[in-house]
Structure 1
Amino acid sequence: MNNFLQHKKPVVWTISGSDSGGGAGVQADLYSFQDFAVHGCSVISALTAQNSFTVGYTVATERKNIVAQINALDSDLPAKAIKLGMLLNEEVITTVAKYIADYSGYVVCDPHLMTASGDCLLADGAGELLRQQIIPRADVLSLNITEAQALSGSSITQADDMVAVAAQLLKQGARSVVLTGGHFDDYSELCLDYWSDGEQSYWLQGEYIDTVNDHGSGCSFSAAITAALARGFSLQDALVLAKAYVSQGLRYAVQIGSGPGPVGHFGWPGDLDDLPVLATQLPKLGLSFPACDDTLQLCPVVTTLQQLPALLDSELVSVLRLRIEGDDAWVTEAIDQCRQQQVQVIIEGDWQRAIDEQAYGVHLQLEQLSDEVLIALHEAKLMLGVAVHSYADIATADGVEPSYMELHVAAGEEGWAQLEQWVGLLADFYPLVAVSVADAKQINQCMMAGVDGVVVMAQQLLAEDSSITL
């Protein structure tokens, strides 16, 4: 288990039904909470008698019992985030809605509208009450394709339909919507999820995993989102991690009873193959960029021509980055000096200048990566480096397949643990560099974490009190 996740355990609630077969509902939620290192509490809203192939009996918990469960938890174990699942009837919905109306934390709603065989799980009239009292309070409304069709009244047969249905559901009052399980002929190798809040939207593109052992995948997905939000991850990160978690669970799921097996719960997702590609449009361009050579070990960031002589005279530097701030008249001269010393040049930020100067490569932020930029860099055969600060950034960068990734983490113990985790996720696929100060201990720590190189500001490296000798 990841050390950086173990310092504090936020409390997370699931308000949902109990699955006696252990594959979905509260049981799947608690398994997922455990894997995301949060403390899971449960409010049982319904009891089901089910196994791996059928739901035989379902009964809603009476109101006073739900109130007693909520009050017991609220007085001692208040939730950092709440996941809502099975809310069978009007009484249950009204009771839960009354509590969450004044609740200030995240609410993730995964309404269990029907069984896998298509049987409705809502009492008459409960659907409209769900729309009125629960959906408008949901920070994230999580639905599979079948549920989205039932709630919207529209069919989903292609990717564009997911966009249209999400827009319909947002009009019903949800703060954001994620639709899961899109598998279409045009994208037969992919399982597509789509998220939107009406202003922003993106696709989560994962490998389609052909398995019948998927019981509880929706519960596990929404529970993982809830747990990640409680841990302080952004919503983008939470969605990326949740999809990776379920992909991992589907990949290794096994049949346990006579029917479809449950999605597996195997801990924090640690395989890049399970991490989705995050993109604002479909499909990705499918471009490639030159691979890095072994020059990234120590990479100074140069901001003035005066910093060059000492760096170029050093045997430690074989590649450097030029950061253009304001006047750029010095850049061409700097590149000429570097070429004379056979030092490679990466230009930060200005991709057109990198092409014009025939630089070794360009280093960009993700927000600079438009299709126009990527196509131009590909045609110029420039190496492309990108900076990543989060799991969502990694998922976005992986869709571009850059020459290297630059990892940015917070300072301190948690930052080093995060760096090690990202190295474990990415090192077999991409050259990696980390950002450091000109301190021998920090640089050594970065290298010991497994990165291929360290990026240091030149003025820090050249300072008189620097512990790095050039």
Structure 2
Amino acid sequence: MHIVTTIAGSDSGGGAGIQADLKTFQELNVFGTSVITALTAQNTLGVSDVLPIDTIFIEKQFHALLEDFSISALKTGMLFSSEIIQAIANIMADLDIPLIIDPVMIAKGGESLLQQQAIEAMRYYLLPLATVITPNIPEAEVLTGKKVDDIASIQQAAQTLLQLGTRCVVIKGGHLTDENFATDYVFFKDGRAFSMQTTRIATKNTHGTGCTFSAALAAFIGRELPIDSAVVEAKKFIQLAITHDLSIGNGHGPTNHFAYRKYKDSCEVTIHELS
């Protein structure tokens, strides 16, 4: 049995964070474990409060898992503060486990989920340990300090992030202006690069898409798929989750974590090699 760990915040609304990650792990036949970094009071309308967990207790959660389980992949989501980031990085530095980083910064409703001083800590301490990082366009802009709005700037941002030490960067293109397609861009340290394109779905129910995509990626990597294959399958997972949404709540509703199991043979991802 493959065991995968999520290190992230709790979403009381169930659409993102720890809850989305564990649902995704279950759907992809890996055993999910967790280290909770913060509690949130939220629903589809937004986040009303955040309560960070004491850093020492976060470390205890992490050590408890490592003492008992053979973990095949880890992912991080909401880490909130520089202290939490450094604590996770200090433990990860001694591990040889694939690490997928979703650099969660802003909730769907616009609320900040990462303190400003934590951004530099993420760059300096955590990103060099990553196997894959999965920023969306705004997150890539914050991490690189550069405007990202076309393929040239996406490539430049990816190179900047690769230079920090990660093996692979997936820049998610959902914030780009293409009305017909949702295109993500994948770059490897060895120079390979490709794009993944799917039909854009007109829906407001996209809460937890970043969490769910990175959780699926962690699950597939934990099951020992090559990174490029894992990225494509994770793209299918989130595309189907958005396509067959659940229409829950009155705001930005969650995606459908059950959809991949039922519809995975119907999803096509168009791959283009990038020069």
TM range (shorter): over 0.9
Structure 2 residue 39 is matched with structure 1 residue 56: no
Structure 1: how far apart are the matches of 2:263 and 2:115?
41
The question of whether the paired residues in 2 share the 8 Å contact of 1:18 and 1:26 is answered with yes
Where does 1:298-337 land on structure 2 (aligned, <5 Å)? none
**Residue 163 of structure 1 is aligned with which of 142, 155, 167?**
155
The question of whether the paired residues in 1 share the 8 Å contact of 2:47 and 2:109 is answered with no
Partner of 2:186: 195
Partner of 1:99: 91
Equivalent residue letter for 1:62: D
- Cα–Cα, structure 1 residues 189 and 183, in superposed 2: closer, same or farther, change >3 Å? farther
Structure 2 residue 243 is matched with structure 1 residue 264: no
Partner of 2:272: 279
Structure 2: how far apart are the matches of 1:263 and 1:256?
9
Partner of 1:130: 122
**Residue 77 of structure 1 is aligned with which of 69, 82, 85?**
69
**Residue 202 of structure 2 is aligned with which of 210, 217, 227?**
210
Q: Alpha-carbon deviation of 1:53?
A: 0.9
Most deviating of 245-254 and 111-120:
111-120
Structure 2: how far apart are the matches of 1:257 and 1:133?
37
- Cα–Cα, structure 1 residues 69 and 271, in superposed 2: closer, same or farther, change >3 Å? closer
**Residue 141 of structure 1 is aligned with which of 126, 130, 133?**
133
CA deviation map 1:146-193 (0-9, x unaligned)? 2112222222222332222212222233221101134655x5421100
The question of whether the paired residues in 2 share the 8 Å contact of 1:183 and 1:208 is answered with no
- Cα–Cα, structure 1 residues 272 and 161, in superposed 2: closer, same or farther, change >3 Å? farther
Partner of 1:461: none
Equivalent residue letter for 1:194: Y
Q: Alpha-carbon deviation of 1:209?
A: 1.2
Structure 2 residue 241 is matched with structure 1 residue 249: yes
Partner of 1:360: none
Equivalent residue letter for 2:91: Y
Partner of 2:13: 21
The question of whether the paired residues in 2 share the 8 Å contact of 1:166 and 1:196 is answered with yes
Report the 3-state secondary structure (helix = DSSP H, G, I; strand = E; otherwise coil) of the residue aligned with 1:212: coil
The question of whether the paired residues in 1 share the 8 Å contact of 2:46 and 2:111 is answered with no
Report the 3-state secondary structure (helix = DSSP H, G, I; strand = E; otherwise coil) of the residue aligned with 1:215: coil
Q: Alpha-carbon deviation of 1:120?
A: 2.8
- Cα–Cα, structure 1 residues 209 and 94, in superposed 2: closer, same or farther, change >3 Å? same
**Residue 34 of structure 1 is aligned with which of 19, 23, 26?**
26
Structure 1: how far apart are the matches of 2:264 and 2:176?
25
The question of whether the paired residues in 1 share the 8 Å contact of 2:47 and 2:111 is answered with no
CA deviation map 1:257-290 (0-9, x unaligned)? 11111011124374454231122149xxxxxxxx
The question of whether the paired residues in 2 share the 8 Å contact of 1:14 and 1:42 is answered with yes
Report the 3-state secondary structure (helix = DSSP H, G, I; strand = E; otherwise coil) of the residue aligned with 2:172: strand
Report the 3-state secondary structure (helix = DSSP H, G, I; strand = E; otherwise coil) of the residue aligned with 1:125: helix
Partner of 2:57: 65
Structure 1: how far apart are the matches of 2:156 and 2:180?
22
Report the 3-state secondary structure (helix = DSSP H, G, I; strand = E; otherwise coil) of the residue aligned with 2:237: helix
Structure 2: how far apart are the matches of 1:231 and 1:184?
31
Question: Normalising to structure 1: TM-score of the pair?
Answer: 0.56
The question of whether the paired residues in 2 share the 8 Å contact of 1:241 and 1:269 is answered with no
- Cα–Cα, structure 1 residues 47 and 64, in superposed 2: closer, same or farther, change >3 Å? same
Structure 2 residue 39 is matched with structure 1 residue 47: yes
The question of whether the paired residues in 1 share the 8 Å contact of 2:100 and 2:218 is answered with yes
The question of whether the paired residues in 2 share the 8 Å contact of 1:189 and 1:208 is answered with yes
CA deviation map 1:2-24 (0-9, x unaligned)? xxxxxxx2000000000011000
Equivalent residue letter for 1:99: I
CA deviation map 1:426-466 (0-9, x unaligned)? xxxxxxxxxxxxxxxxxxxxxxxxxxxxxxxxxxxxxxxxx
Q: Structure with the greater relative contact order (CA < 8 A, sep ≥ 6): 1 or 2?
A: 2
CA deviation map 1:385-420 (0-9, x unaligned)? xxxxxxxxxxxxxxxxxxxxxxxxxxxxxxxxxxxx
Structure 1: how far apart are the matches of 2:47 and 2:62?
26
Structure 2 residue runs without a partner (length 5+) = none
CA deviation map 1:217-242 (0-9, x unaligned)? 11010000000011111111100110
Structure 2: how far apart are the matches of 1:248 and 1:279?
20
The question of whether the paired residues in 2 share the 8 Å contact of 1:17 and 1:46 is answered with yes
Larger Rg: 1
Question: Normalising to structure 2: TM-score of the pair?
Answer: 0.94
Equivalent residue letter for 1:204: M
Where does 1:211-230 land on structure 2 (aligned, <5 Å)? 211-230=203-222
